[in-house]
Structure 1
């Protein structure tokens, strides 16, 4: 019989576990080379109040997480939660853990009536179905990224 899943906010002491799962999701998405955050940097990030990482645990083992950053939304003058990742380790998927993590994030957002927003890959139909079942509104949008190497010349007027 499987033990119950508990959800709790990650602390600085969880930095190595969070970093490991971030590397796992990045590898799963073929983005491993994009992860540059060390365990020590995660210790610092987990101490920041606007950084939210909720861990799902079964027994004493982390089996997934959801991460978000609380930030000002200039159109409303209030805050929003920008969800970064929702990840459940293989062997624990399709058992409601992702839903539990999203429910816990929603509970955090509810006290401030915060909008939760996020993006996903267009071809990730499985994720789209999951989020739609939660009641999320899905709308197409193009996300842009402007890395320093690309904007350096514009910034210096060259």
Structure 2
């Protein structure tokens, strides 16, 4: 544990343990480490996989969803991405400008459109997915397959039980 960020987290937890409630050193420690891990993984994937392609991680996430789901309305993409509709529209505009995504009319609803990958977008997301998958494996190689399942289950349980007024 010779990393300054981990030393700071341990120090902060120890200091919080000296305080009366509502200080909760365990909740702090868990939130701190989850946030820190999230920031580091996002920055790493962005820097090693997506920025070299001229994308952002949100752009890849949107293309990945379209790759799995097929043409999808922007409102649905916002709902499953924990992004605002405006943010989704901005990402779609950028990806459309770059020839990776296109807007298509929704059959039966003349006003609605769906975002869809172009053939170039499909090829690009497939290539990026391979690289991102390798990088994710490097991040979590320290865990056994069983530990990965357990950690995923625990995080999913917290996400499912999040406070009703929580964003996303």
* Higher Rg of the two aligned structures: 2
Report if TM-score (shorter chain) is over 0.5. Answer: no
Please, what TM-score do these two structures have when normalized by structure 1? 0.26
Query: Which one has a larger percent helix, Structure 1 or Structure 2?
Result: 2
Higher strand share: 1
TM-score (norm 2): 0.25
